[in-house]
Amino acid sequence: MIIYLVKSTLLLGLLFLLYKLFLENEKMHRFNRFFLLFALVFGITAPLISFEIQPERSIAGIQMQQMERVVNAPAEAVSRSVEPLITPKQDVLSKSEITTVTPESGSSWSVGMADIFIGIYGLITLFLLARFVVGLIEIRNKVKAGTHKELDHATLVLLDEPITPQSFLDYIFLEKQQFESGDVEPEILNHELTHVRQFHSLDVFMAELLKVIFWFNPLMYLYKHAIQLNHEFLADEAVVSSGSSITGYQELLIRVSAGNTSLKTTSSINFAITKKRLRMMGKSISKIKVGAIWLFLLPVSVALIIIFSAQTDNYPQTISMQEIWDSMPQTTYQEPELHYDGNRSKELGIPLNLGAQFNSSGELFTGTQKVYYVENDSLWQEHFYEDGIITGSVIYTDGDSIRQVHGIFEDRLEMGKEMYINGMLKYMDVRPHESKDGLGHLRMWHRSNGELAFEAFYKGDKEYQGLMTEYDEDGSIIMQERYEAGELIEKIK
């Protein structure tokens, strides 16, 4: 059991690291959803599966016998350290020696420790399972208490209490007063309908159950958070694809994220991930980059499968990606073509997470890179670089030119600090470390006349602090609330 837990944790950790490094910030959300679910299931089942592989064989230049030793070494080391506390060492004893062993002189302490470990695990698991069931009962009670309105793919549950729009299975929970007064925007409803149509609740349900069983493994909590964030990306993508304006939808998200009343195990909107969603909407990914990611991840995943499951083999020594590469049609092209070089970045002292880009001559690129549609050679995006680091970008969509200004803080690239639409400032996010009062300043302006539309203040990365105000186009306050450490303290208007 010890060896299984260590190997499972190693595998889950390696797969999650691959996701964070290569997939999380890329606009390939459907594949990311599959990868996360696959990683969870594979991470907990692969150490239980074994097949034979010839030790002298190598795959992708990896000697499998050596890799098996590398994988097993930490598991066996932990097992040797922990198992004596749980299972006493069994030596060969003579009959006379066996008759003299008593609970007081033998292994009672080790057996007792095993009972304590099992008891603690059982109690905590039982508590978490009970809490999970209580959460489901709470949702059931909300369904019974609310007024129902049937849609094609879902049932609206209208509640007589403030609640952030959210969904579970085929139910969408809304505040009754907001819905009946027409204050629930179609984009928000479309967002939640996407959660229902794509069965996102099943993913969360599985992640919650695994958290109950493997509550001691912090990776389970990281996977659940990544799955929920991916769900938001998928729902946002569906809303924008249906014809909604990116900037209008972004303004709407910031307003809706002020609400923080949610139910357990549901999909909801919150400020903690809204900033990531805003940045993701302005991103794009070329088929070339998708192919490069596939080219790297597929053989690595196959190698992990073999390493963590194999004992001896009949697998081929090399794996070709040509068919996968050829099957990916190119929809955009770039001028000039740039590339990322981790080794060169390291030599130049550039942090890898800044993603420095090099030109065909191997020099850090300074200038403008343009991205065109293959279909009609129309301009889609422009990216601006200084010494290889992106400083801003322009997206051309729906007749608008949306320009984003980026910045760097503590060797980290901060995307979308400012947003301009057709040259007019529409969005600004001043981070806490950049402001004199130590608070983050979030502001948006009306597209029609440039008047301030929304402003809020926050601490750290997720907690509202102080006044949050929404203005109409004439500058009059239409909503104002006061927050302390992310909690709503007072609804002023």
Q: Which tens digit of pLDDT belongs to each residue from 156-172?
A: 999 888 887 888 888 99
Taking residues 57-85, what's their average pLDDT? 46
Kindly tell me the burial class for residue 24, based on how many C-beta atoms sit within 10 Å of its own C-beta (0-12, 13-18, 19 or more).
middle
Instruction: Tell me the mean pLDDT in the region 36-43.
Output: 89
Closest CA to 13 of 216, 207, 299, 223: 223
- pLDDT score at 270: 52
**% of the chain with per-residue pLDDT over 90:** 12
- pLDDT at residue number 462: 67
What pLDDT does 57 receive?
A: 47
Q: Which residues, in sequence order, are bridge partners of residue 373? A: 332
pLDDT value of residue 486: 80
> Does position 349 have pLDDT exceeding 80, yes or no?
yes
Burial 381-407 (b: 16+ CB within 10 A, else e): bbbbbeebbbbbbbbeeeeeebbbbbe
User: 394 is written with which tokens?
Assistant: 């322009």
**Cβ–Cβ under 8 Å, residues 338 and 398:** no
The three-point CA angle 76-81-85 to 5° equals 125
Q: What is the mean pLDDT of the chain?
A: 77
Residue 200 has pLDDT above 80, yes or no: yes
Return the H-helix or E-strand segment holding 331.
none
Query: In this model, does residue 458 exceed pLDDT 50?
Result: yes
Tell me which of 103-117, 333-347, 425-439 is least confident: 103-117
Q: How far apart are CA 424 and CA 441, in angstroms?
A: 18
Percent of the chain surpassing pLDDT 70: 75
The pLDDT score that the predictor gives to residue 329 is 60
For residue 55, pLDDT beyond 70: no
Mean pLDDT of 108-112: 57
Q: pLDDT band at residue 258, thresholds of 50, 70 and 90?
A: low
CB 247 within 8 A of CB 426: yes
- What pTM did the predictor assign? 0.54
Quote the CA–CA distance of 427 and 343 in Å, as a whole number. 36
- Token look-up 């910045």 returns 407
- Residue 29 sits at the vertex; the CA angle it makes with 25 and 35, to the nearest 5 degrees, is 90
Range from 56-70, 159-173, 234-248 carrying the lowest mean pLDDT: 56-70
For residue 165, report the phi and psi dihedrals to the nearest 5 degrees. Answer: -55, 130
